[in-house]
């Protein structure tokens, strides 16, 4: 079974440029997450989807970040315009979770490492 | 809100036993999870404790005490490949499948 696939693995851009990251979750997983991970830190949730609905986007900086999950499968995370402080690893994860259940195992992709110059 | 604290670094030798602690402040959660992340890799699930007590999975065990707001990951018979970062995470009540992670503990295993 293929894992969570992310692309690109690495991206270097200049500040003020746009960038987009793509994620293909595990087949059958209804929940998709985008996390941000700074060097030496734990992952921080940006947005969580249940199927195609964004159920938690409270940590997403909506002035420059946007995300979509069309048809409840693949997802795209966009930053426009990028700032120096956006340099980080953007992790996508997926899981199969049912409402009210706390036992939830996330499968992560390898991440997209963004460097903003 | 929720916050989790872990030591930033731990060093041990091959064959030894190491314990990585996680203390937390949270208003309520379903369980405590542990994830492993090698340098440049994806975090991978290790263990989950919904109830107090010890869960054992091969060389790895995890413990939870809700009354002490404390948990730990125990790694036995350490191998060089265990050198990685280890994260504890909680699943808060009424927030679906959301996971909140600690800052991580970098484990270095020496020969």
User: pLDDT digit string (tens) for A60-109?
Assistant: 999 999 999 988 899 999 999 999 999 999 999 999 876 555 557 899 99
The β-bridge relationship of strands B105-110 and B9-13 is parallel
List chain A residues with CB under 8 Å of B30.
Answer: 101-103
Q: How far is B15 from chain A (nearest CA, A)?
A: 26
Query: Can the peptide bond before residue A81 be classed as cis, meaning omega within 30 degrees of 0?
Result: yes
Q: How far is A77 from chain B (nearest CA, A)?
A: 18
Cβ-proximal residues to B102 (8 Å cutoff; 6+ apart), any chain: A42, B4, B5, B6, B22, B24, B87, B88, B89
List chain A residues with CB under 8 Å of B46.
Answer: none
Residue A56 and residue B95: Cβ atoms within 8 Å? yes
- Say yes or no: A45 contacts chain B, CB-CB below 8 A: yes
Cβ of A40: how many Cβ atoms within 10 Å? 11
Residue B104 and residue A42: Cβ atoms within 8 Å? yes
pLDDT at position B88:
97
Q: What is the DSSP track for A24-70?
A: E--TT--EEEEEEE-TTS--EEEEEEETTEEEE-TTS-TTTEEEE-G
A43 → closest Cβ in B97, B101, B106: B101
Q: How far is B47 from chain A (nearest CA, A)?
A: 9
Of all residues in chain B, the one with the smallest CA distance to A96 is: B97
Strand partners, A88: A114
pLDDT at position B45:
95
Q: How many angstroms from the chain centroid is the CA of residue B27? A: 19
Q: Give me the percent of chain A exceeding a pLDDT of 90.
A: 79
Phi first, then psi: what are they for A87, rounded to 5°?
-60, 120
Q: What is the pLDDT of residues A18-72, one digit of tens each?
A: 999 999 999 989 899 999 999 999 999 999 999 899 988 989 999 999 999 988 8
Cβ of A71: how many Cβ atoms within 10 Å? 7
Rounded Cα–Cα distance for residues B37 and B57 (Å): 17
Among A6, A33, A43, A91, pick the best mutation site for testing chain B contact (most B Cβ within 10 A): A43
pLDDT at position A100:
54
pLDDT at position A112:
98
Distance between the two ends of chain A, CA-based, in angstroms?
Answer: 37
Cβ-proximal residues to B56 (8 Å cutoff; 6+ apart), any chain: none
Q: How far is A69 from chain B (nearest CA, A)?
A: 17
Residue with tokens 């992340």: B37
Instruction: Copy the structure tokens of residue A55.
Output: 């159920």
User: Cβ(B30)–Cβ(B91) under 8 Å?
Assistant: yes
Of all residues in chain B, the one with the smallest CA distance to A107 is: B44
Q: What is the pLDDT of residues B48-76, one digit of tens each?
A: 999 999 999 899 999 999 999 999 999 99
Residue A16 has pLDDT above 70, yes or no: yes
Rounded Cα–Cα distance for residues A75 and B86 (Å): 27
Instruction: Copy the structure tokens of residue B45.
Output: 């699930």
Residue A1 has pLDDT above 70, yes or no: no
């Amino acid at each position: 079974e293929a894992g969570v696939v992310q692309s690109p693995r690495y991206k270097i851009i200049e500040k003020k440029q746009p960038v987009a990251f793509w994620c293909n979750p595990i087949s059958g997983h209804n929940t998709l997450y985008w996390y941000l991970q700074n060097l030496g830190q734990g992952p921080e949730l940006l947005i969580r989807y249940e199927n195609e609905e964004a159920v938690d986007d409270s940590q997403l900086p909506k002035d420059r970040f946007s995300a979509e999950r069309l048809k409840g499968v693949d997802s795209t995370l966009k930053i426009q315009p990028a700032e120096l402080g956006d340099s980080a690893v953007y992790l996508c994860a997926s899981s199969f979770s049912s409402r009210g259940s706390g036992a939830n195992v996330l499968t992560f992709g390898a991440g997209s490492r963004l460097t903003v110059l | 809100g929720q916050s989790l604290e872990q030591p930033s670094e731990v060093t041990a030798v091959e064959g030894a036993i190491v314990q990585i602690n996680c203390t937390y402040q949270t208003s309520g959660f379903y369980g405590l999870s542990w994830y492993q992340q090698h340098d440049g890799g994806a975090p991978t699930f290790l263990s989950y404790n919904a109830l107090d007590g010890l869960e054992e999975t091969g060389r790895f065990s995890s413990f939870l005490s809700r009354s002490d707001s404390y948990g730990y990951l125990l790694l036995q018979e350490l191998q060089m490949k265990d050198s990685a970062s280890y994260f504890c995470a909680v699943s808060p009540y009424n927030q679906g499948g959301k996971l909140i992670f600690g800052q991580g503990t970098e484990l270095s295993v020496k020969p």
